[in-house]
Structure 1
Amino acid sequence: MQAPLKIAVAGAGLVGSLLAIYLKRAGHTVHVFDRSPDIRNVNFSGRSINLALSQRGWRALDEVGLGDEIRNIAIPMDKRAIHMADNSLNYQYYGKDGESIYSLSRGGLNRKMVSLAEAEGVEFFFETRIWDVNLQTATLYTGETERGAWSELQYDMVFGADGAFSRIRHRMQRQNMFNYSQNFLNTGYKELNIPANADGTHKLDTNSFHIWPRGAFMLIAMPNVDGSFTCTLFMPFEGENSFESLKDKQTLEAFFAQHFPSTQDVIPNLVEDFFKNPTSSLVTMKCYPWVFEDKVALIGDACHAIVPFYGHGMNAGFEDITILSQMMEQYGNDWATILSEYQKSRKPNADAIAELSYRNFMEMSVDTANPDFHLRKKIEKWFSERHPDKWLPLYSRVTFSHRPYAEALAIGDRQKAIMDEVMKLDGITDNWDKPVTEQHILRLLEQDTLTT
């Protein structure tokens, strides 16, 4: 337990709610503010990408005893189901021994997290807009409008967990020497839906992350506990095969019949959902510093928003909380040191997962349809099973371990260079699991060790 403080958390999303639980457990009074209505009372749909919870996220939940509560509303996915353009279906398993990522409805998990935080004694203030914060005094300014009257709310500390367009960060950006960048992809996304069968079962394989890779665009589908799938269509905003080009019912239906024929019988409300749901954008946001003295700190998307193609936005945010908690245990009541060490630890890892997430868009949309990609993955899996001390595939290093993201990025780059050489071997398609391939990889690894 720490010396009790009065702490405000801006943002009642996934990271804000879990952070509030950690802070409450540490003995603090915690108030959470959110500009939106209570998510438990609204229909959360139309612009969501399902979550993929993996080891880093589970660790943060398990450390406060909440993992089992969340496992009850999660579905394990142990593989990718890759739907090819010719209607064939390929499976690619993620890890070893049935290792899985877990599909969760974003809205369902957020509702659960808010209720769990309230049960801990955290107090929520919904439909409350924060317009500004005094960094030196940790004072929040709230009001109905930005130009109207504001109320002053005094705290000992403020955490900004209010997303990629954070109001708390907006104030921090006005400091001298504050670095900030944002980069939007030319690709956007739209939510679609595969309903459950009449008996409540799933129309597609339940324990798969479904991908229809088509190069510059792709469709994904992730299972929900009610038997449905949340689908997400990723496409360029403009140009050929873009959201701009799909302007009417006939064009849309013809496009799906051509590029996603296996979905025709499972997405009955395609036209309605497509034209009803918004087209949303994807942004990578970076900034530094994340903290101001011992008064204000950013966490989650507020300081490192990433694109969703590695499924680690939430996992990275939850890992922020794990590291912050470790610093709290290590440094006691010295919040200036806690926050300083937290940002030093997390900044390089946040940058690394941002890069990995950006790269994984190409893997999902292009590489998964390439036979050479599947061969590379088979070789990596085969070699890592024979030499687990020498090779852990990048995906497993990111998703099924707690090693730093920055380390995964660096090692992954070296492994890619090695696999590029392996794929040049004569007869690799037929000899991929032969001693000659194994010895070649071992030699390349030895050379890599000598040069690093």
Structure 2
Amino acid sequence: MADQQPAGPGHGTSAGFAGSVRLDRHGCPACTIPGTHRLPSTTARVRAGSELPHHDAFGPLGPRLPTLDHRGRGRRIRLPHHRVHGRRGGLPSPRDDPNRSDSVVQHLRGLPSVRVHDGRCLWIRFVSRPRHIIIIGGGLAGPLLGCLLADQGSEVTILERRGDPRADGYDGGRSINLALSARGIEALARIGLDDAVLRTVVPMQGRMMHDPEGRTSFSPYSVIPGETINSVSRGHLNCMVLDAAEARTAVALHFDVECTSIDVDRSRVSYRTPDGSEHTLDSDLVVGADGAGSMVRAAMDQRERTDDGTEFIESGYKELTIPAGPDGSFQLRPDALHIWPRGHYMLIALPNEDGSFTCTCFWPHEGPESFAAVQTPEEITSFFRTNFADAAELMPDLVEEYLRNPVGPLGTVRCRRYHHRDSAVLIGDAAHAIVPFFGQGMNASFQDCLRLADCIAGHHTMREALESYDALQRPDGDAIGQLSLRNFIEMRDHTASPAFRLLQRFRKRLNRMFPRWYVPLYNMVSFTTIPYTRVITIDRRRRWSVLAIAFLTVLTLGFLVT
């Protein structure tokens, strides 16, 4: 971003200097261009000899920024003072040179751009070179952030440990289905990808509950038409954001590279390519988008305490599949998230575009009804026929998939800071990995990308940008971690309860009657972009009111009946 500084006395950081420096003696390496060949300039003309106007931080002449060094850290350029016409900082009169001609200095990246008049400087504009930002991680958040930063003028290098999924096929090691909601859609819209992605999703209108006897009951997410949760393929979405990043000339993608060291103080990354060669990159900022086991977070933690640890829950997850029917049709209702709640364990299923469903078992690691207790083909078949009979009938490869697919851990990553000085920052799971029970992991990560890009664009220095991002986003990361754990208990233990379902219907009725006053917690998280911390505050404030109204309603009905 260019900065315009007045060169007359008493204005700006260069006050008293630029107006007194002769054109041929200021020491600037840029060469002057004759008036007939000069570049167009947006700098306002100022009559020589007149007082230069003062402008605020965002006045008509643009933002006033401090002089930046190559890392954006506010370095001042020191030049000697001279005396002109016997007074320091004086500006010549137009009468001094009646045959004068204007000149401008070529705009060069990283060098001062000077507009001169009558052989004297009137304005200095500092045009800093583009920032070079290294993003570690080419999953979902990394390429999306790369697009946002490239659109702002930064040069971006993305380093990914795995191969290119567009060539090798997706192998993310995690859930192949994700829930895309308002926060994620907002981020995709910023890089022009929302329409393309939404054409590939399967909208889910609500939850379909399956009890042990095979009976089902449907609970819509919202009373407002069009408010749906969208089931999207992680692999397909990953390929789309990589394509979007690759389409930007300022983004360089490198796959199959192993980071060997990260110097977070110097924003320096060393890595090894598949042929064994070693490379080192210097940058202005290193971004950790490398997941829950983040190498960037570990490097930051070595310099100052960053990682507050990972809190694992007692349950893990394993993925299975309900294939499409013989004609490619869905074998379950396609516009619903299907849940088989069974107390301390459950099974869920999300629809895919090809007619299949991705099922996930969330079970304890140990105990009588756990992954440890269900290991042989006989145990697998018996357990599913007893607890998930209607689902088991639709899984012809149940035993083979169960034995083949690994059990994944579930936990929450907490950090006491998301940035290191002005040289490194964390986003997504690297900063706040969460359990998947609110469907907000990807959406929260995409929101990190938006917030970080906006902070970098809106602050003068990288340190200010990262401090602002940390202050704004870290409380939200902690908040969605709490909400996800709370929703795990709700989905596992409460959704099968008739009393809970009655309360949910009452909340939806309130939402329909008073849409401006009451919005359920789930709807605020999934269908708005209200900050997660604000969502918790609003819900806490409304909760007692809702319970009081429900209690009074029950009393009134009881009185009328008797």
| Whole-angstrom distance in 1 between the partners of 2:362 and 2:306 | 33
Equivalent of residue 397 in structure 1, options 524, 533, 545: 524
Q: For residues 224-281 of structure 1, what are the alpha-carbon distances to aligned partners after superposition, in whole Å with 9 as ceiling and x for unaligned?
A: 1111111101000111110000111111111111110111221111101000001100
Equivalent of residue 289 in structure 2, options 142, 151, 161: 161
Matched, 1:77 2:184: no
| Whole-angstrom distance in 2 between the partners of 1:435 and 1:338 | 61
Equivalent of residue 4 in structure 1, options 111, 130, 136: 130
Tell me: CA distance 1:420–1:383, structure 2 relative to 1, closer, same or farther (3 Å): closer
Matched, 1:128 2:257: yes
Q: 1:418 offset after TM fit, Å?
A: 4.0
Q: Is the 8 A contact 2:148 2:190 kept in 1?
A: no
The amino acid of 1:76's aligned partner reads: P
Q: Is the 8 A contact 1:194 1:228 kept in 2?
A: yes
Q: Is the 8 A contact 1:78 1:208 kept in 2?
A: yes
Equivalent of residue 227 in structure 1, options 355, 359, 364: 355
Alignment of 1:230-379 (within 5 A): 230-331=358-459, 333-379=460-506
Structure 1: any 5+ residue segments left out of the alignment? 437-452
| SS in structure 2 at match of 1:391 | coil
Correspondence for 1:93: 220
| Whole-angstrom distance in 2 between the partners of 1:142 and 1:100 | 42
| SS in structure 2 at match of 1:282 | strand
Correspondence for 1:28: 154
Count, aligned residues? 431
| SS in structure 1 at match of 2:304 | coil
Q: Is the 8 A contact 2:344 2:492 kept in 1?
A: yes
Q: Is the 8 A contact 1:320 1:346 kept in 2?
A: yes
Equivalent of residue 137 in structure 1, options 256, 266, 269: 266
Correspondence for 1:447: none
Q: For residues 402-446 of structure 1, what are the alpha-carbon distances to aligned partners after superposition, in whole Å with 9 as ceiling and x for unaligned?
A: 111011122223444444455555847x949x999xxxxxxxxxx
Q: 1:37 offset after TM fit, Å?
A: 1.3
Q: Which has the higher helix share?
A: 1
Identical residues among aligned pairs (%): 38
Q: Is the 8 A contact 1:47 1:277 kept in 2?
A: no
Equivalent of residue 210 in structure 1, options 338, 341, 344: 338
| Whole-angstrom distance in 1 between the partners of 2:411 and 2:528 | 26
| Whole-angstrom distance in 2 between the partners of 1:431 and 1:114 | 58
| SS in structure 2 at match of 1:202 | coil
| SS in structure 2 at match of 1:168 | helix
Structure 2: any 5+ residue segments left out of the alignment? 3-128
| SS in structure 2 at match of 1:136 | coil
| SS in structure 1 at match of 2:495 | helix
Alignment of 1:166-177 (within 5 A): 166-177=294-305
RMSD: 2.3
Tell me: CA distance 1:176–1:45, structure 2 relative to 1, closer, same or farther (3 Å): closer
Q: 1:118 offset after TM fit, Å?
A: 0.9
Matched, 1:119 2:247: yes
Normalising to structure 1: TM-score of the pair? 0.90
- Higher RCO (C-alpha 8 Å, min separation 6): 1
Structure 1, 377-386 or 417-426: larger mean CA deviation: 417-426
| Whole-angstrom distance in 1 between the partners of 2:188 and 2:315 | 32
Q: For residues 56-102 of structure 1, what are the alpha-carbon distances to aligned partners after superposition, in whole Å with 9 as ceiling and x for unaligned?
A: 00001112211011112111111111111121111111112231010
Tell me: CA distance 1:313–1:47, structure 2 relative to 1, closer, same or farther (3 Å): closer
Tell me: CA distance 1:215–1:418, structure 2 relative to 1, closer, same or farther (3 Å): farther
The amino acid of 1:143's aligned partner reads: R
Structure 1, 46-55 or 193-202: larger mean CA deviation: 46-55
Greater radius of gyration (CA)? 2
Q: Is the 8 A contact 2:256 2:273 kept in 1?
A: no
Correspondence for 2:144: 18
Correspondence for 1:180: 308
| Whole-angstrom distance in 2 between the partners of 1:46 and 1:350 | 23
Tell me: CA distance 1:151–1:243, structure 2 relative to 1, closer, same or farther (3 Å): same
| Whole-angstrom distance in 1 between the partners of 2:173 and 2:356 | 14
Tell me: CA distance 1:61–1:45, structure 2 relative to 1, closer, same or farther (3 Å): closer
Structure 1, 259-268 or 237-246: larger mean CA deviation: 259-268
Correspondence for 1:439: none
Q: Is the 8 A contact 1:46 1:191 kept in 2?
A: no
Q: Is the 8 A contact 1:49 1:232 kept in 2?
A: no
Normalising to structure 2: TM-score of the pair? 0.73
| SS in structure 1 at match of 2:133 | strand
| SS in structure 1 at match of 2:367 | coil
